[in-house]
Chains A and B, each alone.
Chain A
Amino acid sequence: MIDFTINNQKVSAQPGWTVLETARYYGIDIPTLCYHESVKPSGACRLCMVELKEGDWSKLVASCIYPVQEGIDVHTETERVNNVRRWIFEMLLATCPASEEIREMAARYGVVSTQMPVHDPDQNCMVCGLCARVCEEVVGLSAIAVMDRGVHKKIGSPFLRPTDVCVACGCCVSVCPTGAMQSIFDTVRGKPAMEMTQLAV
């Protein structure tokens, strides 16, 4: 048993648990985007940042990949944490302004606009790579991957062409936190052999 506190509440965890898992076990809410229960955490979106206090000094860590330690003092709703969250949401609003899901979530945390420059107003992918991780860990394939580096980073199949590796299981669509995979998916699995007429929704 490892005992520590989250928001001054005493909690105990088993070795191997992360701070996020422990918090959720005790019903403490920490927002996440790139986290999914079916795969290993990667700490890509940084939205799950929490503050670890040690005396006068404190540090911010990504709770989804931070293993629990004896006696740590975790805070999930401090000024510093909220500030970081706001910045992350502002950056996300600039990265993927077309994502309905991101806009809704940001609004819940009081962020409705961004100060950052928006390069592509139609972008809805935040390039967290969750889809690629699910494809690899859950499905056992690598039909999609994160390509390129830095600002050119994007998600897709090799050469952005439909691939035979994809079995069209749709796991990536189901986990995508921004709803971007819905359009990317069709470029990965390819066109269906027989297209049915689009229904008037």
Chain B
Amino acid sequence: MYEIANIGVFLCRCGNQIDPHIDLKTLEQTIAGSDHVGHCEILSYPCLQPGVDHITQQIIRKKLNRIIVAGCEGRLMNKKFEKAFADLELHKGQIDMVNLRGHVAAVSDQTAVEKANKSAKLVNAAIAEMTAMRPTQQTMAKIDGPVMVVGDGIASYTAAQSLAQKGIDYFLAVSATDPEAVVRHLHCSYPGERPHYDRIKKIVSDAVTSTHATVIPPGKLTGLSGVTGDYTLRFELDGEESPIKYKSGAIIACLDAQMAAPGPEFGYDGNTVMTQPEMEELMWENGAPKGSILFWVNDDETGQSDFAQLSAITAWHMARHIRECSTHTQTMILYHQDMEIPLSASERVVNRKLGILWIPYDKAIQPTVQDSVVTFCSLTDHVEHELNWDYLVLSPIRLLGKETAATAEILGLVHKEERFLTGHHAKVRPEMVGREETYMAGSARYPCDLQESLNQGRRAGTKTAEMVKNASEGRLRVPRVVCVVDPDLCIGCGQCQELCDCGGIGIVDGTRGGLPRVVDPMVCTGGGTCAAACPYHALTLQNNSNDQREARVASLAGQLAQDEVMAIGCVWGGLPAADNAGKKGLKYDPRVHILGVPCVGQIDPCIMARALMEGAPGVILVGCLPEECHHSYGVDHAWSRVNVIKKLLTLAGFNRQRIALAHADLNKPEEFILTVESFARTIALMGPIPRSADNVEKLESIYDLIRNNTRVRHLLSAGLRRPWEKDYRGDQRHALEYDRDFSAVLEEEYLGQRLVRILADQRQALRLADLAAVLKEDEAHVADCLWGLVTDGAITLSHENREAFYSFMN
């Protein structure tokens, strides 16, 4: 029923903002005749309740299964339409909008008919996309099996406690189940938290003794497979040969950061100069120490100034405990002048009562550790003062431990550019991700105190419980725009997994390599750079597929006049910049036609080639600002793809400036206009590509090459990189070598592609000289390439009268 599109097109008058500017009657007549358009109508305000009611009637009467509203910004209005038409089996992806108001009506001084003409091109392109669309059924996520609380962090217990309270079964992978034992070792990760020990004991016993709990030995996590709702985790235990497998529906990762000793410049020896956790250990063993104890909050000196406050409050709690135990001990806290003392009003009262000294030092001179003395420069008089100590307590260095990092890697929590596990990079709307967040808690996420860790655990537990409840009641929606893998096409090269920024792509079973990948629809953000990178087109963004975008781009490119250009803007950068330009009534070159895509990283290079092949004189991609891509690397990947098309254009003898990548800030529409106008001028100077048979053949070869040649596509996706990446893989040792090698491969493959095309078209055997003449290429060069094709089995070689003939045998 959904396969064949029956599209309803509704043109909006938008009060007087579209109607007098665009001749809607002409537009309506043009559109109504298009294929697959079941209904076309002009409405006053399709977005208001009367309009929505009217469209609803038309959908029912004419059995429309796709809707295009040509009016204003889809970013704003789509949700309202999706909500209104959800009961009519019209969902996200089946409702599209074309911004006539912002991209056509307000932005130029063309006549109403000219604007109608431009609008028709944009609407027709949208119709082409809708026709190519294959909507999927809305599915609900299922969660089978208990929740796995993994990682052995202190937050495990609060997460488990919350799950128990909500009646959810869980596995608790922790090393200690005895509350006393937990408290005994807590200071290794969270020093200075004595006041909370009683509470912790209660939480631990609740979590462990609950009827919903299954406590398992923590072991070492060695593997994770499956998707949200159906995970398999493998643990390796000491002394066990084969790993133990657990089936689980959801995972909560509770990981704590490690605390290491600072370097030798602080005189660290572990006996008298020690870190905060070591001081705690000393206090456990020998009780509160006597003498003079100096806490130096040296985070600024160790390059961790972000955690200075955390270390300071820890130092204060420890100093307070020591003073309360023995009034003869003197405690001092030496701190960097830029740090604010992190004490509340009531804590300051306690501080005064206990006489704990806070001593700031001038940041210009680093304090020096000497035997029994620390010298520092005072803020009040610039004199070098000395502080005596019997024990010097330093801030620990906070880092991800090796084991924690390994576990996090397996759980897909590691992001290359962060020191800690701060979570998702993608900055997208909540409805675009099925699982609201990564359920992760503890100081490995970002260094924090015990209270914060426990809260994070509680939150992760509550949220997971909510998710499991929703799933069991059939209310947990799977987002509609997510990647799916065709297992028949996937060869398991794993490039998508390397590129994926959301961690949604996994392997089917535990071992690596050679196995088809699978996408976790609850994690995928629909960025789609993975789909554009797949050498075999095995990945598809459902409801927003490559075919759809290609159809749209091809349709618009085919309609463009000789001096008109196509600007493809991403929905976070270029498109809203264009919308805002329209809203502000800024005028720009009417030859610029704007299309929107969710991310420029989704644009497969074959789409760029298709646009040029269909007759667009120029294509510009307008993405986010650098480092601001909402799908992390989409815009960087688009750069590489544009670059490969540029190389191919040069090979074919066209001007490589016909395709370009630009960056736009949605808040600076004036700059966006400069960008697109500059491009339009460049193209106007160049003129269109003459549509001679020769040129068309070349453009078609480029398209075929970049779409179907797996060698080129492999090389391209393996080379996708971010501008600051330093290492080049394989034999290419630096940027130039990589570029030259890539160009050489392109040249070889491009010539091969053209040869195969000519032989396939001619349907007869040809001689080397004939082929070289047709291609206008050097004979020796063509001979090399032909030999390569023959050995690859792409073409066949036969001899007649001692002359070699080449033919294409399919």
Does A4 sit within 8 A of B, measured CB to CB? Answer: no
Contact of B44 among A27, A137, A168, A169 (CB under 8 A): A27
Known A138-B76, A170-B666, A182-B667: A37·B15 in contact at CB below 8 Å: no
User: Nearest CB to that of A140 among chain B residues?
Assistant: B430
Bound-state CA distance A138–B47 (Å) is 14
Separation in Å of the B229 CB from the closest CB of chain A? Answer: 22
Does B49 sit within 8 A of A, measured CB to CB? Answer: yes
CB-CB under 8 A from B16, the residues of chain A are: 29
Contact of A179 among B15, B51, B76, B584 (CB under 8 A): B584
- Please state if A174 and B583 are interface contacts (CB–CB under 8 Å): yes
Does B809 sit within 8 A of A, measured CB to CB? Answer: no
Known A141-B429, A192-B665: A38·B47 in contact at CB below 8 Å: yes
Does B561 sit within 8 A of A, measured CB to CB? Answer: no
Bound-state CA distance A168–B571 (Å) is 11
- Please state if B670 and A201 are interface contacts (CB–CB under 8 Å): yes
Known A169-B75, A171-B75, A174-B76: A16·B576 in contact at CB below 8 Å: no
Does B550 sit within 8 A of A, measured CB to CB? Answer: no
Does B480 sit within 8 A of A, measured CB to CB? Answer: no
User: Nearest CB to that of B19 among chain A residues?
Assistant: A27
Does B77 sit within 8 A of A, measured CB to CB? Answer: yes
Bound-state CA distance A26–B665 (Å) is 38
- Please state if A37 and B45 are interface contacts (CB–CB under 8 Å): yes
Bound-state CA distance A108–B231 (Å) is 63
CB-CB under 8 A from A179, the residues of chain B are: 584
Separation in Å of the B291 CB from the closest CB of chain A? Answer: 43
Within 8 A of B (CB), among A1-34: 13-14, 16-18, 21-22, 24-27, 29
Does B630 sit within 8 A of A, measured CB to CB? Answer: yes
Bound-state CA distance A14–B668 (Å) is 42
Does A89 sit within 8 A of B, measured CB to CB? Answer: no
Bound-state CA distance A193–B427 (Å) is 14
CB-CB under 8 A from A14, the residues of chain B are: 49-50, 53
Does B299 sit within 8 A of A, measured CB to CB? Answer: no
Does A151 sit within 8 A of B, measured CB to CB? Answer: no
Does A134 sit within 8 A of B, measured CB to CB? Answer: yes
Bound-state CA distance A11–B627 (Å) is 54
CB-CB under 8 A from B626, the residues of chain A are: 193-194, 196
CB-CB under 8 A from A44, the residues of chain B are: none
Contact of B48 among A24, A138, A168 (CB under 8 A): A24
Within 8 A of A (CB), among B51-78: 51, 53, 73, 75-77
Bound-state CA distance A22–B49 (Å) is 9
- Please state if A167 and B429 are interface contacts (CB–CB under 8 Å): yes
Known A21-B50, A24-B48, A174-B73: A196·B580 in contact at CB below 8 Å: no
CB-CB under 8 A from A52, the residues of chain B are: none
Does B784 sit within 8 A of A, measured CB to CB? Answer: no
Known A14-B50, A179-B584, A194-B625: A140·B431 in contact at CB below 8 Å: yes
Does B343 sit within 8 A of A, measured CB to CB? Answer: no
Does A173 sit within 8 A of B, measured CB to CB? Answer: yes
Kindly supply a per-residue 1/0 record for chain B positions 721-758, scoring 1 wherever the CB is within 8 Å of any chain A CB and 0 otherwise.
Answer: 00000000000000000000000000000000000000
CB-CB under 8 A from B79, the residues of chain A are: 38, 137-138
- Please state if A21 and B628 are interface contacts (CB–CB under 8 Å): no
Bound-state CA distance A174–B578 (Å) is 10
Does A147 sit within 8 A of B, measured CB to CB? Answer: no
Bound-state CA distance A21–B626 (Å) is 42
- Please state if B667 and A196 are interface contacts (CB–CB under 8 Å): no
CB-CB under 8 A from A16, the residues of chain B are: 49
User: Nearest CB to that of B575 among chain A residues?
Assistant: A170
Does B379 sit within 8 A of A, measured CB to CB? Answer: no
CB-CB under 8 A from B583, the residues of chain A are: 174
Bound-state CA distance A165–B584 (Å) is 27
Bound-state CA distance A37–B51 (Å) is 11
Within 8 A of B (CB), among A128-173: 134, 137-141, 167-171, 173
- Please state if B76 and A170 are interface contacts (CB–CB under 8 Å): no
- Please state if A194 and B627 are interface contacts (CB–CB under 8 Å): yes
| Chain A contact surface mostly | loop
Separation in Å of the B409 CB from the closest CB of chain A? Answer: 24
- Please state if B580 and A25 are interface contacts (CB–CB under 8 Å): no
- Please state if B580 and A199 are interface contacts (CB–CB under 8 Å): no
Bound-state CA distance A138–B666 (Å) is 18
- Please state if B625 and A196 are interface contacts (CB–CB under 8 Å): yes
CB-CB under 8 A from A198, the residues of chain B are: 671
Bound-state CA distance A134–B428 (Å) is 15
User: Nearest CB to that of B672 among chain A residues?
Assistant: A199
- Please state if A29 and B627 are interface contacts (CB–CB under 8 Å): no
CB-CB under 8 A from B584, the residues of chain A are: 179
Known A24-B15, A174-B583, A192-B665: A168·B628 in contact at CB below 8 Å: yes
Does B115 sit within 8 A of A, measured CB to CB? Answer: no
- Please state if A24 and B429 are interface contacts (CB–CB under 8 Å): no
Kindly supply a per-residue 1/0 record for chain B positions 270-304, scoring 1 wherever the CB is within 8 Å of any chain A CB and 0 otherwise.
Answer: 00000000000000000000000000000000000
Contact of A38 among B45, B53, B77, B428 (CB under 8 A): B77
Bound-state CA distance A69–B518 (Å) is 56
CB-CB under 8 A from A24, the residues of chain B are: 15, 44-45, 48, 50
Does B663 sit within 8 A of A, measured CB to CB? Answer: yes
User: Nearest CB to that of A141 among chain B residues?
Assistant: B430
Contact of A192 among B53, B628, B630 (CB under 8 A): B628
Bound-state CA distance A141–B666 (Å) is 19
Kindly supply a per-residue 1/0 record for chain B positions 758-779, scoring 1 wherever the CB is within 8 Å of any chain A CB and 0 otherwise.
Answer: 0000000000000000000000
User: Nearest CB to that of A183 among chain B residues?
Assistant: B667
CB-CB under 8 A from B49, the residues of chain A are: 14, 16-18, 21
Interchain residue pairs with CB less than 8 A apart (15):
A17-B49, A25-B51, A27-B44, A29-B15, A140-B429, A140-B431, A141-B429, A168-B628, A169-B571, A171-B76, A175-B76, A179-B584, A196-B663, A198-B671, A199-B670
- Listed from nearest, the 3 A-B pairs whose CB atoms lie closest are A193-B627, A25-B50, A37-B47
Given A199-B674, A201-B670, 20 more pairs with CB closer than 8 A: A14-B50, A16-B49, A21-B49, A25-B50, A29-B15, A29-B16, A37-B80, A137-B79, A141-B430, A168-B427, A169-B571, A169-B572, A174-B576, A174-B583, A182-B667, A186-B667, A193-B626, A193-B628, A196-B663, A199-B668
Q: A: which residues have CB within 8 A of B?
A: 13-14, 16-18, 21-22, 24-27, 29, 36-38, 134, 137-141, 167-171, 173-175, 179, 182, 185-186, 192-194, 196, 198-199, 201
